Structure 1
Amino acid sequence: MSDNQFLIRSPLVSPAHQILGYELSWYSSVEGGALSGDEELLALTSFASSQLIKSDGTWLLGSLILFFEVTPAVLASEQIEVLPPANTVFRMTLADLSDGDTLERARALRQLGYGISLCNADDLPTDSPLLSVISHAEGAFGKSASNVALFKQAGVQTLVRQVDDWDTFDACLADGLPVFIGNLYNKPRVLTTPKGLSPAQVIIVQLMDMVRKNADVRQLEEVLKRDAALSYKLFRYINSASFGLGVEIQSLRHAVTMLGYSPLYRWLSLLLAALSDNSQAALLMQTAIVRGRIAELAGHGILPKHEAENLFVVGMFSLLDRLLGMPMNDVLGHIHLSDAVSQALLTRDGMYGPFLTLAESCEKDNGPLAATADSLFIRARQINEAHLEALAWSQKIKP
């Protein structure tokens, strides 16, 4: 992995709006796109396995599946077999699979449990022998519709790419087709009625304001008592992450004693977003959590500890306008945030703005990744490690 290779991801979203997995690829500051050379592609699979598999063999992404573009040379390498079969799919072209040796290798990997996804599968002949080899078929929605039934009959999962608008996205999910969404969720979506803040979210906003002002914990407890379910959810999130405390947090007073006010603020921000009834809440939440964690990790060693912790809140709130169905200016009218946090959310400027831009740029085709990293004097490997650590961390606190 060279100093100009940055990891980017694209989520695969299920018809139930859940993230099934990610396609991982390289973004290069030199060529401005994903690299396709054998060494680079093999380096990507090796890097992912080194970061996402613990020494005892535990896969840190739970049930999530990773998709990797591969060439015949990469597929032939035994190094890729370090990745867990049930969580790995290799993407290949029809031309690559036309080679006899490559096809046999694909068959062998399928027997081991790995997935093989055929790119641009729209025009695959109905009598193609590849139907007995591939596990997934990728194509454009509508163009491959005639083959969906064929793929389903053969036990092949159709995956949709090239989704550029919300209407097409909705149509795909309505037809039961998972979608590589890219960064479509950053495009505005008109809701029939603005969501606004629910009564539970109003309580959380009040708590956040009190925490920001260092209110007495007894006052916080009185507010939280208004909704017992909120207490349960808050402590579930706090206990789901690894703090190394060795004890379970069971009360607000206990949380403040063990963690302090600043970490408590972060968990309230997460709970605020998690209570959205937006149909895309799971997707938006996971994206926001990953953004927040990447930004926070990137800020370590650059900003003071309490400032780096604020970066998590910035990342969490970066999609709050989408979650609540209201403009960010209106969101900030309800939630009293510091000027630096508000500036980052509105303009991506100030102390925190570049870190949020960096985290957003780790999403496919979503920003100046290399230029932002250079401006912060952060090396590509550090960002890539933070990226995968954030993906793993987000699985601990799935909404």
Structure 2
Amino acid sequence: MSTPQFFLGRQAIVGRQRELFAYELLFRTSQHNAAAVTDDVAASAAVMQHAFTGLGLQAVLEDKLGFINLSEPLLMSEVIEVLPRERVVLEILETVALTPAVIERCRALKATGYRLALDDVIGFTPAQQAILPLLEVVKLDVLAMPPEQTAALVKALKPCGVKILAEKVDSPAQHDFCHQLGCDLFQGYYFARPTILSGKPVQPSAMLLLKLLGQVAADAEIDELEDTLKHAPDLTVQLLRLVNSVAFGLPRKIASVRTGINLLGRAQLHRWLQIMVFAQQSGGRMASDPLVQTAAVRGHLMELLAEALRPGQLQLADQAFMVGMLSLVDALFGHPMPTVLQALNLEAPLQQALLERSGWLGRLLSVVEALETGSAADIDAHLAALGGLSADALNHMQVQALHWASQLGRESAGDAEIT
């Protein structure tokens, strides 16, 4: 059969220090027919094979694990053996009946090196107790239980040698509660929505970067930009580290701000500063901060979409990058979007896209946001309104963006120095 159309969503799973641990991969086809079970398995197999071979495993997961949801037919079939055992965690859905045959299948998968997780746990039945020794991760549905039930489950699971993952964590209170209980991993909208850094104090250097962004937008002279940077020499070092990273593909190392500005040009400098706003405010943890990664992916993916849909319009592509990158700036600073945007002197179409999701750039941003949740119906609707783009082309652009974002801040050779 031909490879089905599908969209790839990716949700972060983080550790106790909010470090990036893994991704759950969300596959959504735009097929709405009630296919037979065998067709469903075949379609899932084609999607998985396409994602892990055609799209590129390294670009999708970087160096992290990937959690993959399995229905009972898929779990029992040989199809899942296309998945690389060293890179995935097989997540058994709550709809799977844990029969002796299923448990035996899980035992065989574990024996061949696959990691197993149990999804949406809210209590332990005898069958769940039987499969527990085979599991590496148990995912607790914290939204479906009262706090005392969650606490009791964590206490019961602690001696069992499994990682306890609190999923559907939607608020700071839920995160703090599960963290205090001793959960090892966390997943949910709290790590993607603007509440992620609510109340976080704004770093002075990050505010300085917002000032620089405004200066670049106003076409300030190089001397003025350098003067601003002199107030934060440590920030200058971080900026040079970023601009020398392999993601920029520059022909030679940059050792001074003036050289960097001249070599990059204004448009690239603008994007350089946008990325550094996130890197600085997140403490420089570009590779491990889910918020920074999401912002960078959004920026580059919107740029690629703009280039594909409106070829040759370089200024529009730059604007698309900026909208994507800044779409999470309210989460970064813990302040409302209008407040943060005041310092940036943005043109009206960019402001409308960021504040209202309106206009052509707003539509692009809506596509990218829908991709993050794997909402196929929303993606189809937005793509149709934009003039049409195949799911395959969109997925390849997404993987390009994921790979690009993973390279940010990773220098090709040596450390940056100021001269």
1:217 correspondence with 2:219: no
1:135 correspondence with 2:136: yes
Instruction: State how far apart, in whole Å, the 2-side matches of 1:370 and 1:183 are.
Output: 26
Counterpart of 1:173, as a letter, is H
Instruction: State how far apart, in whole Å, the 2-side matches of 1:218 and 1:105 are.
Output: 67
Structure 1 residue 145 displacement after superposition: 3.3
Cα 1:134–1:292 change in 2 (3 A) is same
Q: Which moved more, 1:360-369 or 1:182-191?
A: 182-191
Q: Which moved more, 1:333-342 or 1:74-83?
A: 74-83
Structure 1 residue 240 displacement after superposition: 2.3
Given candidates 380, 385, 395, the residue that maps to 2:406 is: 395
Contact preservation (8 Å) 2:352, 2:362: yes
Tell me the residue number matched to 1:295.
Answer: 302
Tell me the residue number matched to 1:158.
Answer: 164
Contact preservation (8 Å) 2:198, 2:331: no
Q: Which moved more, 1:312-321 or 1:61-70?
A: 61-70
1:234 correspondence with 2:236: no
Contact preservation (8 Å) 1:183, 1:364: no
Root mean square deviation of aligned Cα: 3.3
State TM-score, norm by structure 2: 0.81
Structure 1 residue 173 displacement after superposition: 2.7
Counterpart of 2:174, as a letter, is T
Structure 1 residue 96 displacement after superposition: 4.4
Tell me the residue number matched to 2:413.
Answer: none
Q: Secondary structure at the match of 1:247?
A: coil
Contact preservation (8 Å) 2:71, 2:95: no
Contact preservation (8 Å) 2:323, 2:365: yes
Instruction: State how far apart, in whole Å, the 1-side matches of 2:360 and 2:196 are.
Output: 29
Structure 1 residue 38 displacement after superposition: 1.5
Instruction: State how far apart, in whole Å, the 1-side matches of 2:196 and 2:78 are.
Output: 45
Instruction: State how far apart, in whole Å, the 2-side matches of 1:182 and 1:225 are.
Output: 38
Q: Secondary structure at the match of 2:27?
A: strand
Given candidates 381, 390, 405, the residue that maps to 1:371 is: 381
Instruction: State how far apart, in whole Å, the 2-side matches of 1:334 and 1:97 are.
Output: 55
Counterpart of 2:356, as a letter, is T
Q: 1:1-399 maps to which residues of 2 (within 5 A)? A: 1-3=3-5, 5-31=6-32, 37-51=40-54, 53=56, 61-75=61-75, 80-81=80-81, 83-93=83-93, 96=96, 98-100=98-100, 102-125=102-125, 128-141=129-142, 142=147, 143-177=149-183, 178-182=185-189, 185-186=192-193, 188=195, 191=198, 195=201, 198-276=203-281, 282-303=289-310, 304-364=313-373, 368-376=378-386, 377-397=388-408
Q: Secondary structure at the match of 1:256?
A: helix
Contact preservation (8 Å) 1:22, 1:65: yes
Counterpart of 1:39, as a letter, is A
Contact preservation (8 Å) 2:117, 2:136: yes
Structure 1 residue 292 displacement after superposition: 1.5
Counterpart of 2:43, as a letter, is E
Cα 1:235–1:121 change in 2 (3 A) is same
Cα 1:165–1:210 change in 2 (3 A) is closer
Counterpart of 1:151, as a letter, is L
Structure 1 residue 11 displacement after superposition: 1.9
Deviations 1:311-351 (A, max 9, x none): 22211211111211211111111221222211111111123
Q: Secondary structure at the match of 1:352?
A: helix
Contact preservation (8 Å) 1:291, 1:359: yes
Instruction: State how far apart, in whole Å, the 2-side matches of 1:95 and 1:202 are.
Output: 48
Contact preservation (8 Å) 1:86, 1:113: yes
Instruction: State how far apart, in whole Å, the 1-side matches of 2:257 and 2:82 are.
Output: 43
Contact preservation (8 Å) 1:183, 1:363: no
Instruction: State how far apart, in whole Å, the 1-side matches of 2:397 and 2:59 are.
Output: 17
Instruction: State how far apart, in whole Å, the 1-side matches of 2:108 and 2:59 are.
Output: 22
Q: Which runs of 5+ in 1 are unaligned?
A: none
Instruction: State how far apart, in whole Å, the 1-side matches of 2:21 and 2:279 are.
Output: 19
Instruction: State how far apart, in whole Å, the 2-side matches of 1:101 and 1:176 are.
Output: 33
Aligned residue pairs, count: 391
Instruction: State how far apart, in whole Å, the 1-side matches of 2:164 and 2:274 are.
Output: 36
Q: Secondary structure at the match of 1:68?
A: strand
Deviations 1:216-266 (A, max 9, x none): 434322322221111111122222243333422222233233322111111
Structure 1 residue 191 displacement after superposition: 4.9
Counterpart of 2:392, as a letter, is R
Q: Which runs of 5+ in 2 are unaligned?
A: 411-419
Cα 1:255–1:61 change in 2 (3 A) is farther
Contact preservation (8 Å) 2:14, 2:187: yes
Instruction: State how far apart, in whole Å, the 1-side matches of 2:52 and 2:161 are.
Output: 28
Deviations 1:127-148 (A, max 9, x none): 8231221111122234443232
Counterpart of 1:302, as a letter, is L
Deviations 1:177-199 (A, max 9, x none): 2222146642657956x745x43
Structure 1 residue 277 displacement after superposition: 5.7
Contact preservation (8 Å) 1:10, 1:183: no
Q: Secondary structure at the match of 2:252?
A: coil
Contact preservation (8 Å) 1:20, 1:64: yes
Structure 1 residue 67 displacement after superposition: 0.9
Cα 1:179–1:51 change in 2 (3 A) is farther
Counterpart of 2:260, as a letter, is A
Instruction: State how far apart, in whole Å, the 1-side matches of 2:87 and 2:409 are.
Output: 18
Instruction: State how far apart, in whole Å, the 2-side matches of 1:118 and 1:343 are.
Output: 43
